[in-house]
Structure 1
């Protein structure tokens, strides 16, 4: 089921230090003053891999940041079996990990556990996808031309979800970032890059956005979100059950152990066997609904028949994912669901995944601020749910 419980893992070896403690400092233009300092640690790994495979260095960093915030999680996998700062994956839809092993000659263990090897593997995969897309040497020098390649790297279940992932990478490039890791700062200067969408220009951004009033308790099975302002992207049919065998009494808070787009794609994958009703994005609180409230998402084992599941983008071992925008958006969603289904707005009925019977998960983990979250649920001070578009 869904995320693996976090465990203490092995430290990265090639860099000589674990990079799992990466901490976001800001998402802002990187300031330039005087001569740039020489690259070290993870920053040096990005520079070397970018040069070897002729992938723009800033693009490589932005892809990693979009997937993991440059955190390797001690070699532990994400919910869709992705590893390292670049989220090299091995599942039925995304085979970037075995491809990286083939292209670099590095074994899977090194690619999973060694941060520099992981970055090198991702650069090799991106270059391979660029060659398949027909990017020329001149094209490879323009970050804007890499959009279809970034979309392919997502290993998404649909073009619409691939675009969701690629759009986020280019948002990171446009805003810039400064992130601190155990081996030094990694930064990307803000850029006005406008991606060349190619065939993705004809692909609708994932999910129809609802502008309607909330639907009633008895709702028609129509492909639109029931929560105003959310996107609707249906989970694969085998990842949830039609209808309910019990009354809805509980809201369950989860953390995805993965990225927003990656989680959505995983719930669309028929081999996943899991889903949640809603997924909330870290950076801006965007909400995607994937299962109707009246249907049974597979997210909390024996509690599934009576529980509504809300997934939050991020990893339990790093609080940087739990932004104020996420807290406020999720609290608005929980308040809406509690009002709709007559659920008391208390911790006895709004619970963490770790508190549900018969489970072995730890999410949302020790960094989730329950006092703040419940104060927002009950105060109505969430500031309005995210309106996409």
Structure 2
């Protein structure tokens, strides 16, 4: 939405973003949940493997302290109760970031709007009431008590099996249709993908300790081979997937973002291009929507809004594609990154730590990213698979307005396990490089501002570690002069990335003292607690760079633009604007790609004047702070 034209769209935040864990949620003994699955399976005649497999795909058996998911789902079975929804401003209305991030065009002015509540909720968001009616268990118990929640889920599965005219068989394969129905999907492909994932879990088996200390195991049943034709009896629609660019292992639907002109030379909401012929794709950017699925789809179909390539639904992992991969979407707030990236929006809310993502969405997202990685030769590492919060500001003026999603509660360690690239040690214990990797569940730093400024967020696992000026927990946090030019300390705010290192990011070691490790970060030493018994980083190997001999400091950039001499006539020269940070002599930073200076000139609806400008000046991408950055190759020397 822009000044001069408001867009009416239904917004549905599910659940209330201020909701935290329930005060009445139980703290059971470590074997109680496993017993609960066995008892519920016996009571309702559902094979225990089916009940465990469905629950794993919904929640990985976590109870989240009784708090709701992003789609209003509760407990291990993710029973949904989304009646208490709020109307809120959508994701790109937050902050001052220009999603396009191109100095050659006037900034997109994304303004908040009063958005009405949705009048009705789909059945997939009202399963808790149905479970209560079937089981006789109160809605409160279904929300707060994990064992009751499992019984409610078993009642739903048994009811679906009966309605499909199938027996309450002990054979897991006979329950394929009921499992597909449990997903809540309204199309055949998504329901099938969901059921296939559940049966993959059943065949391979799983075991883990949950967020409440419960040890749960599902024994492998490699012989579980259901008949997918059971889904046909559900009577679901067939989604339009003709133009989608997705792997066969996910369910994709084509819901296009409009490319339209709407007066005074303005157009939206993306640019036509010819990637990878015109430009290579180097990055995949992970976002969260800060709004519901329905709201997000309405917004991306508005020509005056912004765009991204894919949206992923939390409840069942369904994927909608909006922009062809060859074209450039406006999503990252940095034009250089936009021109060379694919954007994935995940249904969720950064400031609601327990508004959790389902395993179904994590899995389909990982399969989509693997597909994109193979298609464009994008390395599966954290210098190429970026969060929106890792994208750098383009200039000094834009740093403070850059977005901070998906935030400290996105589980990068689990995500990269699903990608097939877990973060493991690759060097000896005294390595010069470390990969950040805390234990997600145990690592619970205090964050503030989820509900109210300065107020502590609900305790929750996190993939990020906090960085101090000295090896002590009471030492001040390191400063980010880009976020705070006045030199103030960073804060514990959930949106403050100034003193935060995230899982998978790699940094050069500056020092070690006891249980503390120092890394080079934003031009300074930054200390984090890294005890041997519970390490928050693992040793790694990789190339690092430092200023060339004789240079006391070198500039750092938020984009890799070509030198002025490279621009042809008719294409305005783009300033090579350094960020306020300095990379000082003696400091070292982990090296990513070496790339040529490059700029996509695309400011008109008519694409005949679009140009890709490439220069002779080369750059290195580096992990400089929480966000990546670029330095000129001519300014540095690279070391093993």
Cα distance per residue 1:277-334 (max 9 Å; x no partner): 236899xxx996622145879x899x9x999531469997799979999789748848
Q: 1: distance between equivalents of 2:243 and 2:58?
A: 28
- The alignment's C-alpha RMSD in Å is 5.3
Deviations 1:87-111 (A, max 9, x none): 1124413132110011122232321
2:346 aligned with 1:309: no
Match of 1:233 in 2: 252
The normalised TM-score by structure 2 is 0.40
Give matches, 1:325-344, under 5 Å: 330=369, 333=372
Structure 2 residue aligned with 1:45, among 36, 40, 64?
36
Q: Distance in 2 between matches of 1:328 and 1:160?
A: 15
CA distance in 2, matches of 1:103, 1:320: 24
Cα deviation, 1:239-264, whole Å, max 9, x if unaligned, reads x555534659996422589xxxxx9x
Cα distance, 1:78 vs structure 2: 2.5
Equivalent runs, 1:283-322 vs 2, <5 Å: 290-293=321-324, 294=327, 309-311=343-345
Of 503, 511, 522, the residue aligned with 1:369 is 503
Whether contact under 8 Å (1:235, 1:290) holds in the other structure is: yes
Displacement of 1:229 after TM fit? 7.8
- Give the distance between the partners of 2:123 and 2:313, measured in 1 at CA: 22
- Residue equivalent to 1:277: 309
Cα contact 1:62–1:172 (8 A) shared by 2: yes
Query: Quick check: 1:223 aligned with 2:243?
Result: yes
> Cα gap change, 1:332/1:51 in structure 2, threshold over 3 Å: closer, same or farther?
closer
Tell me how far apart the structure 2 counterparts of residues 228 and 353 of structure 1 sit (CA, whole Å): 26
Under a length normalisation based on structure 1, what TM-score does the superposition of the two structures give?
0.62
**1:378: Cα distance to partner?**
3.8
Of 187, 207, 213 in structure 2, the residue corresponding to residue 178 of structure 1 is 207
1:152 matched to 2:181? yes
Question: By how many angstroms is 1:141 displaced?
Answer: 1.4
**Structure 1: 5+ residue stretches without partners:** 18-38, 209-221, 258-262, 340-344, 381-389
Instruction: Say if 1:8 and 1:93 are closer, same or farther in 2 by CA, change over 3 A.
Output: closer
Q: Structure 2, unaligned stretches of length 5 or more? A: 1-10, 82-120, 261-267, 273-280, 301-307, 394-400, 410-461, 464-501, 508-589, 596-640
Contact 2:46 2:154 in 1 (8 A): yes
> Is residue 379 of structure 2 the alignment partner of residue 352 of structure 1?
no
Asked if structure 2 preserves the Cα contact closer than 8 Å seen for 1:353 and 1:363, the reply is yes
Q: Which of 286, 293, 296 is 1:253 aligned to?
A: 286
Measured in 1, the distance between the counterparts of 2:218 and 2:178 equals 19
Indicate if the aligned counterparts of 2:284 and 2:343 stay in contact, CA closer than 8 A.
yes
Q: In structure 2, do the counterparts of structure 1 residues 149 and 278 end up closer, same or farther at CA, with 3 Å as the change threshold?
A: same
Larger Rg: 2
Specify the alignment match of 2:480 in structure 1. Answer: none
More helix by share: 1
Q: Residues of 1 paired with 2:318 and 2:186: CA distance?
A: 19
Picking from 166, 175, 183, the partner of 1:135 is 166
Work out whether residues 42 and 186 of structure 1, in 8 Å CA contact, stay in contact via their aligned partners in 2. yes
More strand per residue: 1 or 2? 2
Contact 1:70 1:85 in 2 (8 A): yes
Tell me which of the two structures has the higher relative contact order, counting C-alpha pairs closer than 8 angstroms and 6 or more residues apart: 1
Shift of 1:234: 2.2
Q: Check 1:271–1:107 CA distance in 2 against 1; reply closer, same or farther (3 A cut).
A: farther
